Amino acid sequence: MSIFEGFSISHAAILTGDAPISGDYDEETFGDFYGVNSGGVTPDSDNYQNTGDDKVLSIWYWMNGATVTVQGGYIPFRLISLITGESVSSSGSGTSAKYYLPLWTQKALNQVTRPMLIRAPSRDISGNPRYLDIVLFKVQFEPIAFDGPTYKDGLKINYNGTALMSTLDHEGNACEEAVGKLINLPVV
């Protein structure tokens, strides 16, 4: 029964190592991409065609990593802090509180890589609800970017990066060199 159907993206998060992947987690445990509109993972691969006698005799494929894209409608300062290494500061309290986070600093470029999860609701061949997770072991994020604000769509934030090949999984355990893994687990 290892046949599963996946639906649209429901969640994305940076895995901080504070808790194992399960069907239940919150944004305080993980670096949550809150309010995800869209996301994707596309392999960055290429090939070499070995030719002879005016035909292709064999093809060699290789993969450099995978392009990761996530777009959201909310601006989660904790997540931006995880990606950029910049600290969030605040003043005031309650509804008068102000939050500050440096934007596009030299220090924020080329930060440490992070493991990441992209989740979609899923079900098995019998229709039982499950989760389908794409877990990426080592993502190098680009500077964040904004779309908008536009009429009716508002302001969107874009998180882009590259998932690199790694010999350590998302929990720091040795594994066969890979970009990540697929996990399908029951809804708890």
Give me the pLDDT at residue 3, please: 84
Whole-number percent of the chain with pLDDT over 90: 61
Asked if 83 and 159 count as a contact pair (C-beta separation under 8 A), the reply is yes
Q: Cβ distance 39 to 54 under 8 Å?
A: no
What's the pTM?
0.84
Q: Tell how far CA 20 is from the center of its chain.
A: 16
Q: Give me the CATH number covering residue 115.
A: 2.30.110
- Contacts of 21-27 with CB under 8 Å at 24 or more apart are 21/117, 21/133, 21/135, 21/170, 21/183, 21/185, 22/185, 22/188, 23/131, 23/185, 23/186, 23/187, 23/188, 24/188, 27/76, 27/78
Residue 73 per-residue DSSP state: S
* Interatomic CA distance for residues 86 and 118, integer angstroms: 24
| CA neighbor of 15 nearest in space, from 82, 77, 64, 81 | 82
Name the nearest CA neighbour of 68 among 46, 38, 47: 38
Residue 94 forms part of a structural domain = no
Q: Is residue 106 part of a domain?
A: yes
CA distances in angstroms from 93 to 27, 47, 90, 96, listed in the order given = 21, 57, 9, 5
Q: How far apart are CA 164 and CA 65, in angstroms?
A: 5
What average pLDDT does range 119-143 have in this prediction? 93
Where b means 16+ CB within 10 Å and e means fewer, 100-118 reads ebeeeeeebeeeebbbbbb
pLDDT band at 34 (very low <50, low <70, confident <90, very high): confident
Per-residue model confidence as pLDDT tens digits over 157-175: 999 999 999 999 988 899 9
Is residue 54 in some structural domain? Answer: no
Is 31 part of any domain?
Answer: yes
In this structure, is residue 56 part of a structural domain?
Answer: no
What pLDDT score was predicted for residue 27?
46
**Within-domain flag for 105:** yes
* Inside any domain, residue 50: no
Give domain status of residue 57, yes or no.
Answer: no
Look up the domain containing 129 and give its range: 4-44+62-86+99-186
For the cut 60, the answer to whether the pLDDT of residue 137 exceeds it is yes
Tally of domains within the chain: 1
Task: Tell me the residue type at 16.
Answer: T
| Residue 7, pLDDT score | 87
* Poorest-pLDDT segment among 26-30, 42-46, 73-77: 26-30
Q: Would the pLDDT of 1 be above 90?
A: no
